[in-house]
Amino acid sequence: MQKLKVGIIGAGYIGDSHIEAIRRVGLPELTAIADVNYNLAKSKADAFGVEKCYKSLDDLVADEEINVIHNCTPTHLHLEINEKIIKAGKHVFSEKPLGRTSAESLQMVELLKKYPDTVAGVNFCYRMNALIQDTKNRIASGEIGKPYLVHGSYLQDWLLFETDYNWRIEPEYTGVSRCVGDIGSHWMDLAQVLTGSKIVEVCANTVIALPTRKKPAGVVETFAVNTDQNYTEVNVETEDYAGVLIKFDSGASGVFQCSEISAGRKCFIDIEIDGSKASFQWNQQTSDQMWKGNRNSNNEQIMRNPNLALGGAKKYSHLAAGHPEGWNDAFKNNLDAYYHFILDGKKMGKDPCDFATFEEAHYLMRLTEAVIKSGKEKRWVKLDEV
């Protein structure tokens, strides 16, 4: 089988994970890395033995050998770069959130309608954890009955101090939302994938706990500690926290909170679905374990086990039970699903896929906007209002 040739644009924090996952999947061949910081791209290309290195998207897109481009740049560049990739006739795998606003994500969804052969995926990677895929199938098969409630959180602490800074603080780069768009969207994606239903109404309390921050003169990498003593004090317009009541089209209700200022919480994404027969609860920090709550019998601790995985989930569970799998493996599963979709000649909108599509990412963008609108207007907001 001929390997697909792949390029990455954006060699920062998440770019590293794309490099690793592409190499682990094996079907694609990482052929080029591009970054506006050429030295960074070059150092990564040298470290991983990647053949080509570019300093702009235009150079990467002009490379006729490249079939697929991963967009790992900051959010303000997703629209411009994804559009160029699609128009160049290449497949695109974009980072999330898909855009700064739902107007931007809609523009990409509309453009894709003119390119039916383009395979376009978005990196909502948590859904591809082996136990999440297994649990999705268990819930669909009726194991916990009808889902009544969905609740949980995504908590981090990397922006706790006023000296913590990153491009995500600024609306120009991040868009209408920071915390909800960046991490709340991952939680909402999980909630929708697990229940097979859509969130259609939200009521939010959004909080800017640190109204000013010390912006350093230099760049601070994602999740890095800022040590720069030269700073200017800036006003903050994006939320540090959101607490959100939610309603699903299935009739289920729930609540989630997301925070980037919860000391000690790193990537604490936790979700529980309470059904009419039983409950499931999962936390990605212990992602090989699933708790099942029962009413009339003892509760159960389910361990990821490829031999017991339900339906199509078996293909996402690689190691024997007892050898932990985690975030990197979910990431690899996401790309595995994406690249098999291309190589099997499947078509977006016609064939089902497990990875997130641009349409799903646009829906999550609309939900993010609905949360921000609700927080501002202090009322329930229906999705069709945004």
Ligand X SMILES: NC(=O)c1ccc[n+]([C@@H]2O[C@H](COP(=O)([O-])OP(=O)(O)OC[C@H]3O[C@@H](n4cnc5c(N)ncnc54)[C@H](O)[C@@H]3O)[C@@H](O)[C@H]2O)c1
In the bound state with ligand X, the residue whose beta carbon lies nearer, of 141 and 328, is 328
The dihedral formed by the CA atoms of 6, 7, 13 and 16, expressed in degrees to the nearest 10: 40
Buried b (16+ CB within 10 A) or exposed e, 276-292: eebbbbbbbeebbebeb
Verify binding: residue 254, ligand X, rule CB under 6 A: no
Verify binding: residue 252, ligand X, rule CB under 6 A: no
Verify binding: residue 96, ligand X, rule CB under 6 A: yes
Question: Residue 36 CB, nearest distance to ligand X (Å)?
Answer: 4
Q: Classify residue 210 by burial, with Cβ atoms within 10 Å: 0-12, 13-18, 19+.
A: middle
Stretch that binds ligand X, among 32-40, 107-115, 231-239, 335-343 (CB under 6 A): 32-40
Taking CB under 6 A as the criterion, which residues in 175-214 touch ligand X?
A: 182
Verify binding: residue 37, ligand X, rule CB under 6 A: yes
Cβ–Cβ under 8 Å, residues 179 and 242: yes
Verify binding: residue 170, ligand X, rule CB under 6 A: no
| Residue among 7, 10, 99, 147 that touches ligand X (CB under 6 A) | 10
Strands (E) in the chain, as ranges, are: 4-9, 28-34, 52-54, 68-71, 91-94, 120-122, 147-155, 199-207, 212-216, 231-235, 241-248, 253-259, 268-275, 278-283, 289-294, 300-303, 356-357, 381-382
Verify binding: residue 372, ligand X, rule CB under 6 A: no
The residues with which 357 forms a beta bridge, in sequence order, are 121
Taking CB under 6 A as the criterion, which residues in 140-169 touch ligand X?
A: none
Verify binding: residue 328, ligand X, rule CB under 6 A: no
| Residue among 67, 73, 153, 287 that touches ligand X (CB under 6 A) | 73
CA distance 2 to 21: 19
Verify binding: residue 72, ligand X, rule CB under 6 A: yes
Question: Residue 297 CB, nearest distance to ligand X (Å)?
Answer: 36
Verify binding: residue 260, ligand X, rule CB under 6 A: no
Verify binding: residue 125, ligand X, rule CB under 6 A: yes
Residue 151's contacts (CB-CB under 8 Å, 6 or more residues apart) are 254, 255, 256, 271, 272, 274
The total of other beta-carbon atoms located within 10 Å of residue 37's CB is 13
Verify binding: residue 356, ligand X, rule CB under 6 A: no
In the bound state with ligand X, the residue whose beta carbon lies nearer, of 12 and 326, is 12
Count, residues near ligand X per rule CB under 6 A: 25
In the bound state with ligand X, the residue whose beta carbon lies nearer, of 14 and 160, is 14
The identity of residue 45, as a single letter, is A
Question: Residue 356 CB, nearest distance to ligand X (Å)?
Answer: 10
Residue 331's contacts (CB-CB under 8 Å, 6 or more residues apart) are 17, 20, 21, 123, 125, 128
Cβ–Cβ under 8 Å, residues 144 and 273: yes
| Residue among 102, 105, 118, 123 that touches ligand X (CB under 6 A) | 123
| Residue among 9, 30, 112, 365 that touches ligand X (CB under 6 A) | 9
Question: Residue 16 CB, nearest distance to ligand X (Å)?
Answer: 8
- Under DSSP, the state recorded for 98 is S
**What's the sign of the alpha-carbon dihedral 326, 338, 280, 98?**
positive
Q: Identify the three-state secondary structure at position 211.
A: coil
Residue whose Cβ sits closest to ligand X: 12
In the bound state with ligand X, the residue whose beta carbon lies nearer, of 73 and 226, is 73
Verify binding: residue 330, ligand X, rule CB under 6 A: no
Verify binding: residue 39, ligand X, rule CB under 6 A: no
In the bound state with ligand X, the residue whose beta carbon lies nearer, of 5 and 84, is 84
Question: What is the CA 217 to chain-centroid distance, rounded?
Answer: 29
CA distance 246 to 204: 9
Q: Which residues in this chain contact ligand X in the complex, by CB under 6 A?
A: 9-15, 34-37, 40, 57, 72-75, 77, 95-96, 123, 125, 182, 221-222
